[in-house]
Structure 1
């Protein structure tokens, strides 16, 4: 895989956890029990990472990069998939991961956000 740093980058986010969703054949990156990243393959077996972005930003990225597409098996307005065999620059992918983490963090309760940001143990159950 071209983006060897990616797993470590996802897990460097406060409160981030990962699991493997057997029925999807994909690794999920979670915060507070909600997914902010998904790594797997598409129906042609190409490796893909899927993250949430602000809709206008996601559309801008899709217009600029052929290897960024509407979210594979996800809401096409909010989620974007990046083919990992493509030429998306590291800084763009990191910006997408950062945005996805921030959007999901903001969607959590204020109490859970505080626990995560202060480093308290948070249960995702």
Structure 2
């Protein structure tokens, strides 16, 4: 999955807005003012220590599933600059199937929405 595909998929989630609270290099995707994903080139838009310029996406995740995904995919690491038990960083280097990335995005969105009031949940889930 490339940047444009990921961005489009994220923005197509109901009630999702794009924000830049960490600067122009870090895309933050929110549902009802709650972050469910970030997208940046490497570490906060700066690449990584080896000079790679792959896009990195942070997604919320169930703690048990987060550990399993890290074991299965080398491109899934503990959430960079996030709570490492609850967030994963997905490196968009082509090593993870698109369907799996979409599933992880869907799960992140549902976890964040699941922590909202019932009224807010209903207003969002009607559009799924």
TM-score, scaled relative to structure 1: 0.85
Q: Deviations over 1:80-124 (max 9, x none)?
A: 0011124111111111100000000001111111222346xxxxx
2:86 corresponds to: 78
2:43 corresponds to: 42
Cα separation, 2, equivalents of 1:72 and 1:53: 13
Structure 1 runs not aligned, ≥5 long: 120-125
Residue 108 of structure 2 is aligned to residue 62 of structure 1: no
TM-score, scaled relative to structure 2: 0.83
Q: Paired residues, what number?
A: 119
Q: Deviations over 1:14-57 (max 9, x none)?
A: 11111123437300110110000000131661420000111111
RMSD: 1.9
Structure 2 runs not aligned, ≥5 long: 48-52
2:104 to 96, 101, 114: 96
Give 3-state SS (helix, strand or coil) of 1:105's partner. Answer: helix
